[in-house]
């Protein structure tokens, strides 16, 4: 697996690491399959990201992506920051290996979640509102039909599906029922051996 010089630089010298205890918005995303977890903290001033920090638990690519996303977003308007995509992040890093593209998706998603959190908190009446809605129950069927790398929707026939984001073909695991990388010998979700 070969990483660009930019990826290695952001991994070895990550920018904007840490937390913001008085953050205006916090966004957290994770991929339980690969174990990557990202939390972004933002401060907003006059509709711009005046400060941004991150904490990432994951591989070198995940750390590099988090660092790059904070650099791309700092000083931008909220709308400009919401326009940051996984493709733009990967491009700024000089490319990522195909099996690490999900990391760039997580970085952009964590930033977007922090902005959504800020907007929710700053909406008129948000501070006085009390959320009475219970957390939505997790739908196992939905999870089974999601890409295990980026959690995007899988498209195609029932036997073989593919993720348009990762460009990987998946088959249904006979052990857990979730879709797993067709090229792998074991299920990426449960570790069961895949008989081909």
59 a catalytic residue: no
Segment holding 181, helix H or strand E:
strand 179-181
Catalytic residue among 59, 103, 163, 176: 103
161 a catalytic residue: no
Alpha carbon distances (Å) from 75 to 13, 44, 156, 185: 20, 9, 41, 45
Using an 8 Å Cβ cutoff, are 23 and 50 in contact? Answer: no
Please state, in angstroms and rounded to a whole number, the distance separating the CA atoms of residues 147 and 169: 10
For residue 154, report the phi and psi dihedrals to the nearest 5 degrees: -95, 140
For residue 71, report the phi and psi dihedrals to the nearest 5 degrees: -65, -40
Segment holding 66, helix H or strand E:
helix 60-73
Using an 8 Å Cβ cutoff, are 164 and 178 in contact? Answer: no
Query: Active-site residues: which are they?
Result: 34, 103
């Amino acid at each position: 697996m070969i990483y660009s010089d930019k990826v290695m630089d952001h991994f070895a010298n990550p920018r904007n690491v840490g937390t913001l205890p008085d953050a205006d918005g916090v966004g957290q995303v994770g991929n339980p399959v690969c174990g990557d977890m990202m939390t972004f903290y933002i401060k907003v001033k006059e509709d711009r990201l005046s400060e941004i920090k991150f904490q990432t638990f994951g591989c070198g690519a995940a750390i590099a992506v988090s660092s790059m996303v904070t650099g791309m977003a700092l000083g931008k308007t909220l709308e400009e920051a919401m326009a940051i995509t996984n493709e733009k992040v990967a491009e700024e890093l000089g490319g990522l290996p195909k099996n690490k593209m999900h990391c760039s998706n997580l970085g952009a998603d964590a930033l977007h979640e922090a902005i959504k959190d800020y907007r929710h908190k700053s909406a008129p009446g948000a501070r006085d509102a009390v959320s009475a809605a219970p957390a939505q129950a997790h739908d196992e069927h939905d999870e089974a039909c999601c890409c295990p790398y980026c959690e995007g929707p899988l498209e195609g026939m029932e036997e073989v599906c593919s993720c348009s984001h990762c460009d990987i073909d998946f088959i249904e695991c006979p052990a857990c029922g979730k879709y797993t990388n067709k090229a792998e010998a074991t299920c990426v979700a449960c570790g069961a051996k895949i008989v081909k």
